[in-house]
Amino acid sequence: MAVQTNPVIKLVEIHKTYHTGEVDVHAVRGVSREILPGEFVAIMGSSGSGKSTLMNMIGCLDRPTEGRYWLDGIDVSTLDRDALADVRNEKIGFVFQGFNLLSRTSALENVEMPMLYNRHRIAAHEQRDRALQALELVGLGDRADHHPNQLSGGQQQRVAIGRALVNRPSLLLADEPTGNLDSQTSIEIMGVFQKLNDQGITIVMVTHELDIARYTKQMVVLRDGKIVTDEKVADRLNAERELAHLKQAQAAVKLE
Amino acid sequence: MRIFASFRIAGRALRRNKMRSVLTMLGIIIGVGSVIAAVSITSGATKQVEDRVASLGQNVITVFSGNFTSGAMRGGWGSAPTLTTGDADAILQNVPNVVAVSPEVRDRAQVLANGLNWNTQVIGESPDYPQIRNWNIAKGSMFAEQDVRSIAKVAVIGKTVADQLFPNENPVGQTIRIRNIPFKIVGLLESKGFNLFGQDQDDVVIVPYSSHMHRITSRIYVNSILVQAASTEAITKVQSDISDLLLSRHRSREADFTVRNQVELMQAATATSKVMSILLAGIASVSLLVGGIGIMNIMLVSVTERTREIGIRMAVGARGNDILVQFLIEAVTLSAFGGSVGIGLGIGASRLISSLMQWPTLTPVAWIFIAFISSAVIGIISGFYPAWKASKLDPIDALHYE
C-alpha cells in the first residue's frame, strides 16, 4: 500500500505472567502484532490459549508484565488505573458475551452511560442525541425506552454495540459476542459488525466458533500464549446473504 | 461525572430495593425524629422559662436586703433589713449606666372596694416601675414622681385585682381601701400572667413606695431595690458598682445585701433543661450511630450485589473515583432522605404532643439544619468504606462476578 497508516494497535513482545500461589502462569508469551484501521480480526483459540488475557490487555483492563502496547499512538503499557480508565472511555468500545447491560435501565440510558464518564462534559441533550444516533446505527431507534428485560438477546446485544460506539472509539472490542445467541441472531449480530467495519471501524473479536470467525477478515489463532496462525479469511461469509439463505430455508420448511 | 446524574443513578438504585431502602432509612428516621421531637420539647420548656424571666423586665438588677447567701445560719431573706430609699437614690445618682431605680416594699393586705374585698399583694414602687418591668398600663397612667414626694394616696392595680373588685367596670378613677385607707386608682396594668414561680403577677396593687412606707406599713427599710441598667453589656459593671457603693454606704466589710441579675436567674432556671439537652444529645448520637451502621451494612451488601455493574462501568471508562462518588452519593441520599423524613416526623410528633398535653414546643431552625447536616455526614462516613471498597475492585474480576 502506498499510503502509510498508523496502526490502531501495536503490540511488541507482550508477556503476561500471573503469580497465583506457588506456580507462575505464563498466559501470554511474546505476542507482537499490528492492527491497522479498518481491520476486522478474529482472535481464536481454545480455553487456556491466552486469548482472554490478551483481550484484557488490548482492552486496557489489564497491563502486560513485559512488552509495549501502543493504542492509537499512545503507549498504554505503563499507564495507571485512572489513565487506563480514560483510555477505555475514549478509545475502546466493549461488547461482551453476556451483553452486560444495566437492568431496569432503558436502552437509551444504557447507551448514554459511557458518556457520563467522559473527561470533557457532554451536555445532556447532546448525550441524548448521540445515544439515539448510536441506537439508530444498530437498528434499535424505536426501542430507546425499552428496558433490557423487554428486549430479545439479539436486541440486547445491539444495545451493547450501540453503547460501545457512542464515544466514537478507535477500536471495537468484542468478547464472544455471539456466545449467548442462537445461530440466526448470531448471524444478525455479525451483520451489524460487518456493516460497521464497512464504515471503517476497526474490530477485534474473540471467538472460539470457526463459522463465526468466517464473517471477519483475518483470523489469528493463539496456542499456549503465542500466535500460531495469522491468515486472511479465505471464504469470507456475508451475513446479509447468509441470513437470506436461512430465511428461504425456513420458509421452505414451513411451506411443506 | 455529573453530580446530578449521580443522584439520578442513586435514586434509581434505591428505588430498585424500596423495602430495603425504607428499612435502612428507618434507623436514621427514628434517630433524627426523636432528636427533633425531644429538642422541640426541651426548647419549648426553656423558651417558656426564658419568657418568664424576661417578664421580670429588661436588664434588671435586683438588690435584696439581708445576706442570705452566707453558709452560716442567717435569718433569711429580708430578715436583716439594711436597704433604704437613700440607697436607691444613691444608686441612681452615683452608678453610671443606670437608667431607672425603684425601691420596693412588699406586704399582703386586705383591700376593699365596691362592697367587695380581696386579699392581695400590695407593693410600693417608684414611677419607673412599669418601665423597669417592661409592663404597660392598659388604662389610665402610672403615678408620678410628685405622688411619691407628696406621699399621695394613689394606686395602680393589676388585672386580677380589677376583675375581683370591679367586675365589668372601669376601675380607673374609683377608690380602693387598703387597710381601710382610701387610695384613688389612677391606672390599670396590662395582664402579665404567671411568673417563674407560678405566682399570678396580675394579683397586685402598686402604690408609691413612700405612701406604702408611711401610710400602709410604717417602715424605714425597703425589701429590695430594682435597678435597670442601660444595656445588657453594662450589667456586670453596674452590678459590681452597686456592691461597692452599698458596701461603703453601709460601712460594712461583709455584704449585708445580695445583688442578682436576670442572667443568673435565667441560668438557674434553665440548668435542668441544659442537663436534659446533653442527655438527649447522647441518646441522639447513639441512635444515629446505629442508623449509620445500618447504612454501612446495606451499602456493603449493595456493593457486592452490584459488582458486575461496577465492572461494566469501569470497563466503559469509570475511574475508581467515579464509583466512589456514586456509592457515596447513594449512601448520602439514603441518610439525608431519612433525615428529612425524620425531621418532618419529629416536628409532627412535637406538634401532636403540644396539642395533646398542652406542652409548649418549639423547633429551632438551627436544629433542623443540624439534624439534616448530621444525617448527611453520617451517610458520608458510613458510606465511605463500602464505596471505597467498590472503587478498588478490579474491572476484570468485577465483570466476571456471578
Of the candidates A50, A58, A61, A60, which has an alpha carbon nearest to the alpha carbon of residue A17? A50
Backbone angles phi, psi at B72, to 5 degrees: -70, 160
Q: Write the pLDDT tens digit of every residue in A233-254.
A: 988 999 889 999 988 888 888 7
How far A61 CA lies from chain B's nearest CA (Å)? Answer: 6
What's the number of domains chain A is made of? 1
**Residue B324 Cα distances to A249, B328, B329, angstroms:** 53, 6, 9
Of the candidates A223, A216, A177, A210, which has an alpha carbon nearest to the alpha carbon of residue A41? A216
pLDDT of residue B2: 67
Can you tell me the distance from the alpha carbon of B85 to that of B300, in angstroms, rounded to the nearest whole number? Answer: 76
Chain B residue with CA closest to A105: the answer is B12
Residue B392, sorted as left (phi over 0), alpha (psi -120 to 50) or beta, turns out to be alpha
pLDDT of residue A1: 44
- End-to-end distance of chain B based on CA atoms, in angstroms? 27
Of how many residues is chain B composed? 402
**Residue B394 Cα distances to A47, A100, A176, B6, angstroms:** 22, 16, 21, 21
pLDDT of residue A22: 82
> Quick check: is A16 in a domain?
no
Domain around A199? 39-59+81-255
pLDDT of residue A41: 95
pLDDT of residue A255: 66
Extract long-range pairs of A251-254: CB within 8 Å, 24+ residues apart: none
Contacts of A100 in chain B (CB under 8 A): 308, 311-312, 315, 399
Half-sphere exposure of B284 (CA within 13 A, CB side): 24
8 Å CB contact of B317 and A94: no
Contacts of A256 (CB under 8 A, 6+ apart): none
Chain B residue with CA closest to A114: the answer is B316
Q: Write the pLDDT tens digit of every residue in B133-145.
A: 888 899 899 999 9
Q: Which residues between 155 and 214 in chain A have a beta carbon less than 8 angstroms from any beta carbon of chain B?
A: 163, 167
- What is the arithmetic mean of pLDDT over B163-178? 89
- What is the arithmetic mean of pLDDT over A63-85? 91
Contacts of B2 in chain A (CB under 8 A): 116, 121
A116 touches chain B (CB under 8 A): yes
Confidence of residue B231 (pLDDT cuts 50, 70, 90): confident
Can you tell me the distance from the alpha carbon of B86 to that of B372, in angstroms, rounded to the nearest whole number? Answer: 58
Decide: A85 and B319 in contact? Cβ < 8 Å.
Answer: yes
B5 touches chain A (CB under 8 A): yes
Can you tell me the distance from the alpha carbon of A167 to that of A169, in angstroms, rounded to the nearest whole number? Answer: 6
A94 touches chain B (CB under 8 A): yes
**Residue A239 Cα distances to A110, A214, B133, B160, B208, angstroms:** 26, 10, 98, 102, 113
Can you tell me the distance from the alpha carbon of B352 to that of B46, in angstroms, rounded to the nearest whole number? Answer: 19
Strands A9-20 vs A23-35: parallel, antiparallel or unpaired: antiparallel
> Quick check: is A168 in a domain?
yes
CA A217 to chain centre: 14
How far A127 CA lies from chain B's nearest CA (Å)? Answer: 12
Question: B24: helix, coil or strand?
Answer: helix
**Residue B365 Cα distances to A7, B39, B368, angstroms:** 64, 11, 5
Average per-residue pLDDT for chain B: 86
pLDDT of residue B271: 78
Decide: A159 and A131 in contact? Cβ < 8 Å.
Answer: no
Confidence of residue A3 (pLDDT cuts 50, 70, 90): low
- What is the arithmetic mean of pLDDT over B214-241? 87
Number of helical H runs and strand E runs in chain A: 8, 10
pLDDT of residue B195: 72
Which of B312, B323, B391 is best to mutate for the A interface (most A CBs within 10 A)?
Answer: B312
Contacts of A56 in chain B (CB under 8 A): 396
pLDDT of residue B320: 92
**Residue B260 Cα distances to B38, B69, B90, B310, angstroms:** 32, 11, 18, 67
- What is the arithmetic mean of pLDDT over A119-146? 91
Residue B67, pLDDT > 60, answer no
User: Looking at the DSSP assignment, which residues form a beta bridge with residue A93?
Assistant: A172
Q: Write the pLDDT tens digit of every residue in B34-62.
A: 888 888 888 888 887 777 777 777 788 88
CATH code where residue A119 lies: 3.40.50.300
Can you tell me the distance from the alpha carbon of A220 to that of B90, in angstroms, rounded to the nearest whole number? Answer: 111
> Quick check: is A221 in a domain?
yes
Q: What is the percent of chain A with per-residue pLDDT over 70, rounded to a whole number?
A: 98
Of the candidates B144, B171, B142, which has an alpha carbon nearest to the alpha carbon of residue B159? B171
User: Looking at the DSSP assignment, which residues form a beta bridge with residue A119?
Assistant: none
Residue with cell 444529645: B281
Residue B353, pLDDT > 90, answer no
Residue A35, pLDDT > 90, answer yes
Decide: A67 and A12 in contact? Cβ < 8 Å.
Answer: yes
Chain A residue with CA closest to B317: the answer is A89
Q: What is the percent of chain A with per-residue pLDDT over 90, rounded to a whole number?
A: 68
> Quick check: is A222 in a domain?
yes
**Strand runs (DSSP E) across A135-194, as ranges?**
171-175
The interface pTM score, or ipTM, of the predicted complex is 0.92
pLDDT of residue B42: 84
Amino acid at A179: G
How far B314 CA lies from chain A's nearest CA (Å)? Answer: 7
**pTM as predicted:** 0.72
Closest in A56, A85, A100 to B318, CB measured: A85
B325 touches chain A (CB under 8 A): no
Q: Write the pLDDT tens digit of every residue in A139-178.
A: 999 999 999 999 999 999 999 999 999 999 989 999 999 9
